[in-house]
Amino acid sequence: MRFRFIVYLFSFLVLLAGCATGPSFIPQLVTHYGLQENVFSSELFDHKLFYNTVEESPYLHVYVAGDGVPWRHRFVVASNPTPKSSLVLNLVGEDSRAAVFIGRPCYYGPDKSRNCNTKLWTSSRFSEEVVSSMVQALKALLREQPNKKVILFGFSGGGALVTLMAPRVPQVAAIVTVAGNLNTTLWTKNHHYTALKGSLNPIELDVFPRDILQFHIIGGKDANVTRDITQSYVDKHGGEIWNYPGYTHGCCWMDIWPGVLQSVHEKLLYK
């Protein structure tokens, strides 16, 4: 319990600070949860994979993390966007069903991953190249587990990516976003950020498949991804909004995660 509290506190502080310094806590998380590691190489990029060894579930839970540390300061791009810790890696570790974490290009991997450049974690973080490479990684996993259905989970910027990935993978049954950035144009406008000109925007999808269930979880005190961002997407593409009034962008998703997973699977039973 003490270790879990320290992990949670560290993850929360990293999410708030963005550019927190110090040694990476990720190896300790991997060891603590007994996760396996691998690397998938798509046509363009390398993706770090972390996964558990649960086999019995008919569903594969696939997790995509947030934007990490794209900027050291407001006008200084980070040389490596990988955060010192990861809320999403904690969620994978706490998942009792088959689960895999797919790292975004240039995140969580060796210092010199293929074709990395700073646009991949700034203006082009949700580009066609990134989305298609993530889809390649997922489809490679599914070739080894052809009978599995997929639930995609994405936190913050990972929410944008799983929403863009889902229509391209026939096995996807549902997506779950947590504080997901589903309207990047409105997000950059709200924060007076530079537009993500090289990126796709989830709200601009022509259609989202109606047979894929959508659950968009938000925190009532989230000042980063505010409710209007989620609502604008849901107004166009549907889905349920699950609101936790006292929660912020980084707190306190681990506390409710077992209940979230149970609720999602119950919804799928009546699909």
Q: How far apart are CA 6 and CA 3, in angstroms?
A: 5
pTM of the predicted model as reported, rounded to 2 decimal places: 0.91
Superfamily of 2-269 according to CATH: Alpha/Beta hydrolase fold, catalytic domain (3.40.50.1820)
Strand order in the sheet with 36-41: 36-41, 46-51, 99-102, 59-64, 149-155, 172-178, 213-219, 240-244
The yes-or-no verdict on residue 169 having pLDDT over 50 is yes
Average pLDDT, the chain: 91
What are the structural domain ranges in the chain?
A: 2-269
Query: Tell me: the pLDDT tens digits for 67-93?
Result: 999 998 878 999 999 999 899 999 999
Residues 6+ away with beta carbon under 8 Å from 248: 219, 221, 222, 223
Contact 127, 120 (CB under 8 A): yes
Query: Tell me: the pLDDT tens digits for 28-47?
Result: 999 999 999 999 999 999 99
Query: Tell me: the pLDDT tens digits for 237-269?
Result: 999 999 999 999 999 999 999 999 999 999 999
